[in-house]
Amino acid sequence: MTTNAECRNVRELMDSYIGGELTVESNHEVLRHLERCDACRSELARRERTRALLIGSFGDAPDAAVLEARIGEAIDREQPMWKRVMRYGGIAAALAIVIGAALWLSRPVDAAAYVDSVDNHIACALAFPPDAAYDARRAEESLAAPYTGIINAAPHQSGDYALIDAHMCPYNGRDYAHLVYRRGEHTVSVFAETAARGRLPSTHEPERKGFVSTGVSTGGHQVFVVAEGAAPPPQPVLDDLMSATLAFVRRLER
Amino acid sequence: MARTAREQFTDEAMPHVRALLRTASRLCGTREAAEDLVQDTFLQAWRSFHRFEPGTNCRAWLYKIMLFSHSRSRRDQSRRPFQVDLDAAGEKALLFEPPTPDAITAASVRAAFDALPEPFRLAVLLVDVEGLTYREAADALDAPIGTVMSRLNRGRRLMRLALVEEAAAYGIGVSAQGERKRQ
């Protein structure tokens, strides 16, 4: 016996089922329903036929051998130019590195960078209720450009730590993109912000109020991972969170 | 021995020429325009190949370059920004889940696809026709995965709605449970 509500739910999932994009659990749910429901089996057959007709309406994949050869020749014609650019570019790049390093070292130091990341972790991340769960819509609405894509770049699960929220988090004149992860009573924050106040200090307190903050600067941005000093997540989790966020801000800088 | 960038490009990118040409043919309408678009795409990809991270999805990266080039050339041609009111276009599709009629033909399915607003059409083209995963399509369209899934959902529903309307015009209806009946 099936109900209209079950049918509606299965039909919502049906296209993803055809495309093989469902989780194992949802896939089983659809299969179980299809075993019992003639109407949805018929609907599935019609949708599969629609998709097959759509694909068929475009005809066979075109022969691309001639085009492949043309592209290969065009690339080979470009290569000598690029080699020249590389050769002369090498000198320019060396000069740029020297000038860049001098400018970098003369930048002001963002002395409160680590302190603010820990204090905001305490003020914001630890205030989430124990049963807080990730809400994709809330996260999408709470983030702002250029950080909206961070929820797709960051892992939603790393080890036993699950993402429970992502939002813009103004704090002490900073504008952090803040990702909050949790495992039971243990909470970890990942902050990304533009490096508007200068470079990271070369030394900082190893632990503040029981929390440790690890910071990395990419030049245009700085990323912090804040965790409990006494019970930090395993190193692979810390590396995972840091590297995914760094990859995201580096893409912003391209 | 370390491979040259040219060898890496040949191994990583060139196997996708045929798939991109197939999509480009669908985007551009003519074989000549499609070949030009694909050649431009591969030259751009070659020039920025140093930025490609080995191990990441080369196919999605190439699609991203091609779709960006295509939309830019369309904007240049029309001399005005390309805009579609996606909310208004998709609103109709959210009202109910239309069942698929029996009496469908390749021509009617294609007409329903061609009538979709471009963002929906691109999502359906990449996932349902070209077989990209949701993740690959999101990378190719440079959009959050949730946005791509929403466009796909609305695009597929709008197609079904168009097919239902066409079937109804020929006097063939479909009940809420998908059973066909003569009106």
Here the CATH number for the domain that contains residue B94 is 1.10.10.10
In this structure, are A117 and A213 located in the same domain? Answer: yes
Of B33, B53, B78, the one marking the end of a domain is B78
Residue ending a domain, among B17, B52, B78, is B78
> Are A128 and A237 within one domain?
yes
Tens of pLDDT, residues A168-226:
999 888 999 999 999 998 999 999 999 988 888 888 888 888 999 999 988 889 999 99
| Whether A34 contacts B2, CB under 8 Å | no
B134 shares a domain with B168: yes
What is the CATH classification number for the domain harbouring B38?
Answer: 1.10.1740.10
Partner A contacted by B164 (CB < 8 A): no
Distance, CA of A87 to CA of A75 (rounded, Å) = 18
What is the SS3 assignment for A175?
Answer: strand
Residue B25 pLDDT > 90, yes or no? Answer: no
Query: Are A82 and A176 found together in one domain?
Result: no
Count how many pairs of residues, chain A against chain B, have C-beta atoms within 8 Å: 116
Q: Are A143 and A243 members of one domain?
A: yes
Check CB contact under 8 Å for A74 and B128: no
Categorize the per-residue pLDDT at B51 as very low, low, confident or very high, splitting at 50, 70 and 90. Answer: confident
Strands A161-171 and A157-158: antiparallel
What's the ipTM? 0.78
Interface of B with A in 54-93 (CB under 8 A): none
Are the Cβ atoms of B178 and A8 closer than 8 angstroms? no
User: For residue A91, what are the domain limits?
Assistant: 62-106
Helices (H), chain A: 4-18, 24-36, 38-57, 65-105, 113-123, 136-142, 150-153, 235-253
Kindly state whether residues B158 and B177 are assigned to the same domain: yes
Residues B66 and B98 occupy one common structural domain? no
B9 CB-near residues (< 8 Å, 6+ apart): A75, B45, B46, B49
CA–CA separation, A11 and A3 (whole Å): 12
The whole-number pLDDT of residue B183 equals 37
Average pLDDT over residues A227-237: 90
* pLDDT band, residue B81 (cuts 50/70/90): very low
- Cβ-proximal residues to B46 (8 Å cutoff; 6+ apart), any chain: A75, A78, B9, B13
Domain identity same for B92 and B173: yes
State whether A133 and A229 are in the same domain. yes
> Would you state the pLDDT for residue B148?
93
- Determine the distance in angstroms separating the CA of B129 from the nearest CA of chain A, rounded to an integer: 5
My answer on whether A84 and A167 are in the same domain is no
Containing B18, the helix (H) or strand (E) segment is helix B17-28
Spatial distance between the Cα atoms of A194 and B24, rounded to a whole number of angstroms: 38
Alpha carbon distance B117, B155 (integer Å) = 8
Same domain, B160 and B93: yes
- Cβ–Cβ gap A78/B18 under 8 Å: no
Question: pLDDT value at position B100?
Answer: 82
Q: Are residues A118 and A203 in the same domain?
A: yes
Q: Which of 17-46 (B) contact A at CB < 8 A?
A: 17-19, 21-22, 25-26, 31, 35, 38-39, 42-43, 46
Where is the domain boundary, B47, B62, B78?
B78
Cis before A108 (ω within 30): no
Who contacts A233 (Cβ-Cβ below 8 Å, separation ≥6)?
A158, A159, A161, A181, A183, A186, A188, A227
pLDDT of residue A79: 63
Distance from CA of A200 to the nearest CA of B (A): 26
Whole-prediction pTM: 0.54
The verdict on A37 and A96 lying in the same domain is: no
Length of chain B, in residues: 183
**Whole-angstrom distance, CA of residue A137 vs CA of residue A157:** 18
Q: Is A44 helix (H, G, I), strand (E, B) or coil?
A: helix
Most confident of A187-196, B6-15, B28-37, B64-73: A187-196
Total Cβ atoms within 10 A of residue A213: 24
pLDDT of residue A1: 52
Total number of domains in chain B:
2
Q: What is the mean pLDDT of chain B?
A: 80
Shared domain check, B96 and B70: no
CA-based radius of gyration for chain A: 26
* Per-residue pLDDT tens over the stretch A75-88: 888 765 556 566 66
Using H for helix, E for strand and C for coil, what is the string for B103-149? CCCHHHHHHHHHCCCHHHHHHHHHHHHCCCCHHHHHHHHCCCHHHHH
% of chain A surpassing 90 pLDDT: 50
Does residue A139 sit in the same domain as residue A190?
Answer: yes
**Nearest by Cα to B90 from B124, B125, B120:** B120
A66-80, B84-98, B134-148, B161-175: least confident range? B84-98
- Any idea how long chain A is? 254
| Same domain flag for B29 and B107 | no
A212 and A147 in one domain? yes
- Co-location of A227 and A138 in the same domain: yes
- Same domain membership, residue B90 and residue B69: no
Sorted by sequence, the CB contacts under 8 Å of residue A129 that are 6+ apart come out as none
Q: Which domain holds residue B23?
A: 5-78
Comparing CA positions, the residue from A100, A227, A213 lying closest to residue A161 is A227
| Shared-domain flag, residues B168 and B146 | yes
Pair (B72, B138) in one structural domain: no
Q: Which amino acid is at A222?
A: Q
Confidence category of residue A236, pLDDT binned at 50, 70, 90:
confident
Counting residues of chain A whose pLDDT is more than 70, the rounded percentage is 93
Residues B61 and B110 in one domain: no
Q: Say whether both B90 and B178 belong to one domain.
A: yes
Q: How many domains does chain A have?
A: 3
What count of other Cβ atoms lies within 10 Å of the Cβ of residue B57? Answer: 16
Q: How confident is the model at residue B178 (pLDDT cuts 50, 70, 90)?
A: very low
